[in-house]
Amino acid sequence: MFPHDNKIELAWNERVAVITLRHEIDLSDSDRVTEAFHRALTHSDSDGTLLDLAELTFADSTLLGLILHTRTEHERAQRPFVLARPFNTSIQRLLEITGAVDVLPLADTLEEGLRQLRTPQLPNCSQAVSPNDVTAC
């Protein structure tokens, strides 16, 4: 996706956009990361986005902000977004200290993340207007 960029990759696994971030990602990479997130979200053949951070060794709050913003954009577009583990110790610590690990959808492996994104999402029946209004369930 990005010529001569071994830090950011956007690939397709069937209808799932897989963004892989490698090495160190910081403020200087934010425009390219934002572009990858945007392309994954707006691609017409995408059913969801999987963010693979297994090879990421460092990230600062800039990337965390981009991830949280991207998740919100995916929710608005009703398109799933999942982060795949394993995480480097410093990435795990960043997600835990900020509480992001509690709000971001996580998968234990890349394969599990792909399974999650390929499994049809069931409607949230707890938001029915009345007990008789469960037509979507």
In this prediction, residues 75-84 reach a mean pLDDT of: 94
Render pLDDT for 106-117 as a digit per residue (tens, 0 to 9): 999 999 999 999
pLDDT at 129: 47
Provide the percentage of residues in the chain whose pLDDT is more than 70: 84
Render pLDDT for 6-53 as a digit per residue (tens, 0 to 9): 899 999 999 999 999 999 999 999 999 999 999 999 988 888 999 999
The three-class DSSP label of residue 28 is: helix
pTM of the model: 0.83
Per-residue pLDDT for 127 more than 60? no
- Residues 120 and 117: their CA atoms lie apart, in Å, by 8
pLDDT at 53: 94
**Letter for the amino acid at 107?**
A
In this prediction, residues 72-88 reach a mean pLDDT of: 93
Length, in residues, of the chain: 137
CB neighbour list of residue 130: distance below 8 Å, 6 or more residues apart: none
- Give the CB-side neighbour count of residue 133, counting CA atoms within 13 A: 6
